[in-house]
Amino acid sequence: MNLNVVRLVTGPFQENAYIIWQENSNKSLFIDPGSEPEKLVDAVEEHGFEPQAIINTHAHLDHIGAVRDLQSTYSIPFYLHSNEKVVLNEYARYSSFFGLGPKPAPEVDHWFEEGQLMIGEFKIELFSAPGHTPGGTCLIIHDHVFTGDTLFAGSIGRTDLPGGNWETLNNSLIRIMQVIPSDFVLHPGHGNDTTLRVEMEQNPFLLPLLNRVNSLK
């Protein structure tokens, strides 16, 4: 069954929020709804979706800013990796620091770990990819991978924020290159879609890691 994806660029950080649904169904999921909940609600109404849940790749403020509003609007649960608790706890402080006003963090309904997760008709492979944050997760659904801020077209996530770690991120990227098929579509947290094959050929941050990948084969 084909997966359909709508990307909505939201907020001052130009974060990619996604709405996904499967062929011949109006059941949908929100992935990383970072800001501008009204834009997401408009997209839901335009397509006639029935949102089932919200699931995030990580808990940085530019990825979760619309979660509370969507929870309230649709009475749907929020899923997040359990190692993101420390990041989520900093949400209100960083919202004020970046001039977004004092905002309470959303309530997490379901904490997850690496493995498989079923949300209604959606089968999601939860691929742990820490480094940008402690609980960063790639969400693999069919032949689509939502990479959050772990891997971008031509770049990778920063590690200078609390909870970030350069060597941990590199290890996650090596594992991604070992495990995820190279022709899967990558949907990053910022910027354009890409594929792992393209990134392994062109991304200057992945090229130095290829020897380590090949040595582990």
Print pLDDT tens along the chain (217 aa): 689 999 999 999 999 999 999 989 999 999 999 999 999 999 999 999 999 999 999 999 899 999 999 999 999 999 999 999 999 988 877 776 666 766 788 999 999 999 999 999 999 999 999 999 999 999 999 999 999 999 999 999 999 988 899 999 999 999 999 999 999 999 999 999 999 999 999 999 999 999 888 776 6
Buried b (16+ CB within 10 A) or exposed e, 10-47: bbebebbbbbbbbeeeebbbbbbbbbbbebbbebbeee
| Structural tokens at position 29 | 């999921």
Q: Which helix (H) or strand (E) holds 5?
A: strand 3-10
Cα separation of 29 and 47, whole Å? 13
What was the pLDDT predicted at 215?
73
Closest CA to 41 of 68, 78, 70: 70
- Cα dihedral sign, 166-12-66-191: negative
Cα separation of 61 and 67, whole Å? 10
Let me know the angle formed at the C-alpha of 64 by 82 and 107, rounded to the nearest 5 degrees: 55
DSSP string of 144-177, one letter each residue: EEEEETSEETTEE----STT--HHHHHHHHHHHH
Cα separation of 138 and 73, whole Å? 26
Residue 199 Ramachandran class (φ > 0 left, ψ -120 to 50 alpha, else beta): alpha
> What are the distances in angstroms from CA 30 to CA 51, 55, 130, 157?
7, 6, 21, 21
Cα 84 from chain centre: 12
What was the pLDDT predicted at 102?
66
Task: Please tell me the total number of residues recorded for the chain in this structure.
Answer: 217
Residue pair 140/124 in contact (Cβ under 8 Å)? The answer is yes
What was the pLDDT predicted at 145?
98
What was the pLDDT predicted at 90?
86
Which DSSP category does 50 fall into? E
What was the pLDDT predicted at 46?
96
The CATH code for residues 3-215 is 3.60.15.10
Per the listing, tokens 């402690």 go with 134
| Structural tokens at position 170 | 């590199």
Q: What is the pTM of this model?
A: 0.95
